[in-house]
Amino acid sequence: MVPQDPHFVSRVRESFGRQKAMALIGAALTTVKPGHVEVALPYRDDLTQQKGFIHGGIIGMIADTACGYAAFSLMPADSSLVTVEYKINILAPARGSLVARGEVIRPGRTLTVTRGEVYAEDGKHIASMQQTLMMLANTPDTPE
């Protein structure tokens, strides 16, 4: 897992900082290593579904983001990434703060495959994701 951009940490942090949807749900980027990114989500009442658990789509959001930035950490400085698809199993209901850990399992020139795990504060395994991303070469990672 060798990043192609030596400034990958700041590039990942700046990109995450532009994700207004992460600000909306209160998610924070906590760890950025080559091919490994973690996103923390403090519990908030307004993130819940009808039974008072964290909404499965919110769990998907943080896993998708952690996995995407795990892939992005390895990409060249002048590229951007799009999520092709992801699949997530919800393993247990989530009632508190969460952390999503994304890891690259197969880096590629065009396609990168990642895995994500979401855990509760007590270590309970909440969800598992498998995701595919596509690199867009020579494409800015900013609004057009």
Residues that bind a copy of itself (CB under 8 A): 15-16, 18-25, 45-52, 54-58, 60-62, 64-65, 68, 80, 82-93, 105-106, 110-111, 113, 115, 125, 128, 130, 132, 134, 141-144
Q: Which is nearer to a copy of itself, 3 or 65 (CB)?
A: 65
CB of 139 to a copy of itself, least distance (A): 9
| Backbone dihedral region for residue 2 (phi beyond 0: left; psi -120 to 50: alpha; all else: beta) | beta
Q: Which is nearer to a copy of itself, 89 or 138 (CB)?
A: 89
SS (H, E, C) 66-88: HHHHHHHCCCCCCCEEEEEEEEE
Q: Which is nearer to a copy of itself, 40 or 90 (CB)?
A: 90
8 A C-beta contact, residue 15 and residue 76: no
CB of 74 to a copy of itself, least distance (A): 15
Which helix (DSSP H) or strand (DSSP E) does residue 63 occupy? helix 56-72
